[in-house]
Amino acid sequence: MPTIVEYGRVIARMNEQGMRCLYHNSGAFGLPPGAPTHFVGWLGPEDPTIRPEARVHARRVAEPFEATLASLTTRAWLEILPGPAWVMPKSHWAHDLDLGRKAWMSAALREADIDPVKLATLNVAAAIEYLPGEAGRFTRFVQTLLENLLGSDFAVAFPGNPVVATIHHHKQIWWLSGDESLVRRIDSLAPVNEGDEE
């Protein structure tokens, strides 16, 4: 059953992996200034807002976009990133369980066997931890986020692995790491579609 990881532990572990929190109390993590940065994006529908310099690091996936992206993210975890997966808002839980998002987010958390009441008042991004045996629940939760996020994003971290993924509200997954070979291995899981940049 997924569990909640206290935010202080999240920060400590991410710092150990060379990642830094980008916004106070958030689940947004990146590399320190000046560190080598490698990234790749998996895209669902066409998105004209992506900058050209980022688009060359991205590829489109097949429909149904949300299911495909969730499945690919799970494959990357199970095949390349051993250990647990941590899912957390890139803002904080009180924000993402507020008003317009509350109904569907609460339902998604209950389906994941997480009590939304335990998260609703947290102004920090505690993580939901999935173990490899819970991959099906992880996939469903990621797919639900991709289907419903409208203005905020979520992150997935993999303790012990120097990489973080962003579940973007435009139905995209963006991977970031200082390890170029790791990013290449993750991206190799996504099939090449016509029109992808090489």
Domain locations in the chain?
Answer: 3-46+55-187
pLDDT at 83: 98
Asked whether the whole model's pTM tops 0.75, one would answer yes
Tally of CB atoms within 10 A around 164? 24
pLDDT at 123: 96
**The pLDDT of residue 195 is above 90:** no
Question: In a 10 Å sphere around its CB, with 0-12 CB exposed, 13-18 middle and 19+ buried, how is residue 129 labelled?
Answer: buried
- pLDDT higher at 106 or 151: 106
Q: Are the C-beta atoms of residues 178 and 35 closer than 8 Å to each other? A: yes
CA distance 72 to 43: 12
pLDDT by residue (tens digit) across 133-192?
A: 999 999 999 999 999 999 899 999 999 999 999 999 999 999 999 999 999 999 999 986
Q: What is the mean pLDDT of the segment spanning 116-139?
A: 96
Among 39, 41, 45, 71, smallest CA distance to 59 is for 41
Any residues with CB less than 8 A from the CB of 88 and at least 6 apart, and which?
Answer: 10, 27, 125, 126, 127, 128, 154, 155, 157
**Contacts of the segment 2-6: beta carbons below 8 A, 24+ positions apart:** 2/112, 2/113, 2/114, 2/128, 2/129, 2/130, 2/134, 2/137, 2/138, 3/128, 3/129, 4/114, 4/118, 4/119, 4/126, 4/127, 4/128, 4/129, 5/86, 5/126, 5/127, 5/128, 5/129, 6/126
**The pLDDT of residue 122 is above 70:** yes
CA distance 116 to 121: 9
pLDDT at 101: 78
Q: What is the mean pLDDT of the segment spanning 82-98?
A: 95
pLDDT at 197: 46
pLDDT at 151: 86
Q: Are strands 3-5 and 127-130 parallel, antiparallel or unpaired?
A: antiparallel
pLDDT at 196: 54
pLDDT at 120: 93
**The pLDDT of residue 198 is above 50:** no
